[in-house]
Amino acid sequence: MNTFITNDGAKLFYKDQGTGQAFVFSHGWPLNSDAWEDQMMFLASKGYRVISHDRRGHGRSEQTWDGNNMDTYADDLSQLLEYLDVKNAILVGHSTGGGEITRYIGRYGTSRVAGAVLIGAVAPGMMKSLMNPHGLTMDVFDGIRAGVMNDRSQYFKDFTTAFFGANRPGNNVSQGMKDTFWLLGMQGSLKAQYDCIAAFSESDFTKDLKRFDMPTLVIHGDDDQIVPFEATAARVPHYVPQAQVKIYKGGDHALPATHKQMINADLLAFAEEIEMRRSENLTATCSL
């Protein structure tokens, strides 16, 4: 397996496939990097380099007792990019992973970043407040904690209903998708996944978003029952004026799985747009 050692000694698993412009993927809770397999296979076949890692405590990475917080997740991502010497990367984060890449940019800037894609992401923040009246209250996240501690296996199976929008008329999510969510979730550490609930629910990413100075694509389902659109994606342009927001009508939270053809096409178009801008800038510079 491909692994690297973080500054605090944690051994983390990663995938690195293909060549060319790099996409770097950060997965959602409580999954691992296999959640991106559709996007990684598609983009690698189109001539891109694709990189993803299992967040500490998740999947094949070491099940650390400490460090299950957003700052450390961002530090781990930074060390992975340095270890692989990744430059000009397009960072893609889903749900908690969207918070991870946002905090990474907040802490480390954009010297290695060409663009960012937030899919069903928890940024700018999930908690209800005066600034975020559409956010969720603490009792929602306490309920997640209670479910995980009481019977994690059954809770993950039940969680797939809202995650995939399986309770909506006309939804055709397969049992296989639900089973995969359960399988990936159960590979992680109970401690890490429990701690991560606070990380994705209580973190405030407003200051981090203000450091975004590159092309940014925000993708969100308008029927996301896990990360409400109005509480998160709708607020991103307040902090990232250049952000393009794409709403998937009827879209659930599991867009990389349930809407993979749309996600793949949008990621490819975003990369092509970035390359076109880069070429135009080079041409303009050479003509001076």
Our answer to whether residue 153 is catalytic in this structure is no
Per-residue pLDDT reduced to its tens digit, 121-165: 999 999 999 999 999 999 999 999 999 999 999 999 999 999 999
Confidence at 283, pLDDT banded by 50, 70, 90: low
Our answer to whether residue 253 is catalytic in this structure is yes
**What's the confidence (pLDDT) of residue 285?**
60
Per-residue pLDDT reduced to its tens digit, 187-236: 999 999 999 999 999 999 999 999 999 999 999 999 999 999 999 999 99
Q: Which DSSP state fits 234?
A: G
Our answer to whether residue 220 is catalytic in this structure is no
Q: What percent of the chain has pLDDT over 90?
A: 94
Q: One of 27, 94, 220, 253 is an active-site residue; which one?
A: 253
**What's the confidence (pLDDT) of residue 170?**
87
* Chain-centroid distance, C-alpha 93: 2
For the segment 17-22, the average pLDDT, to the nearest whole number, is 96
**What's the confidence (pLDDT) of residue 28?**
98
CATH architecture group of domain 3-287? 3-Layer(aba) Sandwich (3.40)
Q: What is the CA radius of gyration of the chain?
A: 18
Q: Determine if the peptide bond prior to 215 is cis (ω within 30°).
A: no
Q: One of 95, 189, 201, 203 is an active-site residue; which one?
A: 95
Q: Would strands 11-17 and 3-5 be described as parallel, antiparallel, or unpaired?
A: antiparallel
Q: One of 76, 195, 224, 252 is an active-site residue; which one?
A: 224
Q: What is the C-alpha to C-alpha distance for residues 256 and 258, in angstroms, rounded to an integer?
A: 6
For the segment 6-29, the average pLDDT, to the nearest whole number, is 97
Confidence at 284, pLDDT banded by 50, 70, 90: low
Per-residue pLDDT reduced to its tens digit, 37-74: 999 999 999 999 999 999 999 999 999 999 999 999 99
User: Could you count the other beta carbons within 10 Å of the beta carbon of residue 24?
Assistant: 26
Higher pLDDT, 276 or 89: 89
Q: Would strands 216-221 and 49-53 be described as parallel, antiparallel, or unpaired?
A: unpaired
Residue where the block lists tokens 């004026």? 241
**What's the confidence (pLDDT) of residue 287?**
56
Phi, psi of 130 (to 5 degrees): -60, -35
Q: What is the C-alpha to C-alpha distance for residues 117 and 218, in angstroms, rounded to an integer?
A: 6
